[in-house]
Amino acid sequence: MRQGGHSKRPREGNSALYTAVCRGDADLVAELLKPKPHGQRDGSAAAAAGAPAALDLEELSRGSTALHAGCGTGQSRIVAMLIEAGADPNTVRPKDGYSPLLIAVEVRERDIVKALLEAKADPELSSHAEGIAPLHMAASQGMTEIVFDLLRAGANQLQPTLGKLLAPIHYASFSGCVDILELLVEGAAAAACDDGLLARKLLLQLSDARGHQPLHCAVRDGARARDTVLALLGMGAEVDGGALPALPPPPTPLMLAALKVLPAIAKVLIEAGANVNAR
């Protein structure tokens, strides 16, 4: 999952507003956002009367907006000003599909994330190449508080990435963040008015394109892996993987532990009742 790459430098050809945002000049941004005669703002070369078109001017040849730049550089005050002036929080960059919210999550700016969500940013907008949504990114990087904010805003826990079909819970299992796993599992149960236990089970059995479930993803080297495996088992994950069909059938978590030479993980799985004769 790509990280960084959102630091902006003003370039010749960018709007005055975009340049001011890149420089972090909040006073100039405020001045440029003031209504001007005939409905134009100083940041716009050709804004229609009364329209906030300046807020969505593209960066030269890249398609970024002033709001993208403000999010990527962590300018929370400027982001708030742009939102108040009417910037669209759901504009995506044509080159990669990144929304302002996805950028704010990537740079770990919780205040900006909350401001965008309050402005009705769509938490399910995802990148073009991999289908990465904000919840995937936050879960993969251990951003517990941001995961909480996204779930409260209605982010889809079952949203798969493109190709690999990884859901947020797979990323949380990879990263070994038990707090996020608990948020996801309890959130699924709370959202299911009819049968919370079934919702928990379905989430814990959710398979990616290889047939791997969250418990498979947790079987890896590292100090946190054992705690993650124990946590998933405690939440109700099936020790041998779920009964969902897959062709060819994936290895069981115990088989993965053996293949990766992880005796401590294998011991936990065996003590939890893993089938040592599974093939």
Q: What is the mean pLDDT of residues 118-131?
A: 97
Indicate if the pLDDT at residue 106 is higher than 60.
yes
Picking from 13, 8, 54, 9, the residue whose alpha carbon sits closest to that of residue 31 is: 54
What is the per-residue pLDDT for 50?
42
Region of poorest pLDDT, from 111-125, 179-193, 218-232: 179-193
**10 contacts 19 by C-beta, under 8 angstroms:** yes
CA distance 207 to 177: 19
Name which of 38-47, 89-98, 247-256 the model is least confident about.
38-47
What is d(CA 252, CA 274) in angstroms, rounded to the nearest whole number?
9
Q: Which two tokens stand for residue 178?
A: 């038990």
Signed CA dihedral, 107, 113, 116, 117: sign only: positive
Provide the pLDDT for residue 244: 58
> Binning pLDDT at 50, 70 and 90, where does residue 47 land?
very low
Q: Give me the numbers of helices (H) and strands (E) for the chain, helices first please.
A: 15, 0
pLDDT, average across residues 8-28: 80
Length of the chain: 279
125 against 55, higher pLDDT: 125
Nearest one of 206, 94, 104, 107 to 156, comparing CA atoms? 206
Rounded Cα distance between 146 and 181, Å, is 13
Q: CB–CB of 219/257 below 8 Å?
A: yes
- Provide mean pLDDT across the span 64-68: 92
Highest mean pLDDT of the ranges 7-11, 86-90, 115-119, 189-193 = 115-119
Residue 53 has a pLDDT of: 43
Q: Which residues fall within 8 angstroms of residue 279, CB to CB, at 6 or more apart? A: none
Contact 46, 36 (CB under 8 A): no
Domains located in the chain, CATH noted: 1-122 (1.25.40.20), 133-279 (1.25.40.20)
User: pLDDT by residue (tens digit) across 209-262?
Assistant: 999 999 999 998 887 899 999 999 999 999 998 655 556 778 999 999 999 999
Please report the pLDDT score of residue 199 as a whole number. 85
- Whose CA is closest to 211, among 266, 172, 249, 257? 249
pTM of the model: 0.86
pLDDT of 44 higher than 90: no
pLDDT at position 241 is 85
CA distances from 210 to 79, 129, 170, 207, 250 (A): 40, 19, 12, 7, 7
Higher pLDDT, 118 or 189: 118
Tens of pLDDT along 146-160? 999 999 999 999 999
